[in-house]
Amino acid sequence: MDDEFNKVVEFHGHVCPGLAIGYRVAKYIKGHCDKSEDEELVAIVENNSCSVDAIQQMLSCTFGKGNLIFKDYGKQVFTFYCRGDSKALRIYFKGEMPKRMGELQEKRSKNQLTGEEQKELEGLRQSYIQYILNANDDELLSIRSVNLPEPEKARIYPTLTCEECKEGFMEIKGRTACGKVICMDCFETLVDKCN
């Protein structure tokens, strides 16, 4: 494990296959898209699991800056848009987990692992992580360039004051219920009362 990976582990809190996946994807992008500073690079991620933490830590694509876009598709797909370039890179992680590892993980989720199997799973997991960290790019990543309309920049909206809780909220997130303009929090609790 190199220094760069150690930093990602520190950020994420543990070592796992998902984190290794994100690390390989981010590393590839670092070498192939030189505008990885700040707002220039936009990542569109199709899952919200461990891998995305590596994308955030290594490429500085974060929710706060608006250059991390989440699509809830449950896929290990990551698309990167370098602002200024007309093309985006779409990366699909195609590395396969050992079959036996999948079986044991399923058993674990049902609390059916014996002590022996627990050890076996841990061993498989470690070697799978090593595999992800060391295999060639073309063995792990399916990469193609795609045309993508430029993602919108983070926009700033005016703040309104909720007529119910008196807290400020972003204008476009407002709702009306009970004849008042209110925030989402209040809408969730008031909507049933007024209808």
Please state the closest distance from residue 156 (CB atom) to Zn ion, in A. 20
Please state the closest distance from residue 105 (CB atom) to Zn ion, in A. 13
Please state the closest distance from residue 110 (CB atom) to Zn ion, in A. 21
Tokens standing for residue 49: 């699991």
CA distance 105 to 113: 9
Nearest of 26, 11, 35 to residue 140 by alpha carbon: 26
CA distance 24 to 92: 11
Please state the closest distance from residue 19 (CB atom) to Zn ion, in A. 5
Residues 6+ apart with CB under 8 A from 192: none
What is the DSSP code (8-state) at residue 69? E
Q: Compare residues 16 and 141 and give the one whose CB is closer to Zn ion.
A: 16
Which is it for strands 41-45 and 68-70: parallel, antiparallel or unpaired?
A: parallel
Q: Compare residues 90 and 125 and give the one whose CB is closer to Zn ion.
A: 125
Q: Compare residues 8 and 88 and give the one whose CB is closer to Zn ion.
A: 8
Locus of tokens 């193609």:
144
Q: Compare residues 141 and 183 and give the one whose CB is closer to Zn ion.
A: 183
Locus of tokens 């044991």:
104
Q: Which residues bind Zn ion (CB under 5 A)?
A: 16, 18-19, 50, 162, 164-165, 183, 186
Please state the closest distance from residue 14 (CB atom) to Zn ion, in A. 5
Q: Compare residues 11 and 145 and give the one whose CB is closer to Zn ion.
A: 11
CA angle 49, 5, 33 (to 5 degrees): 80
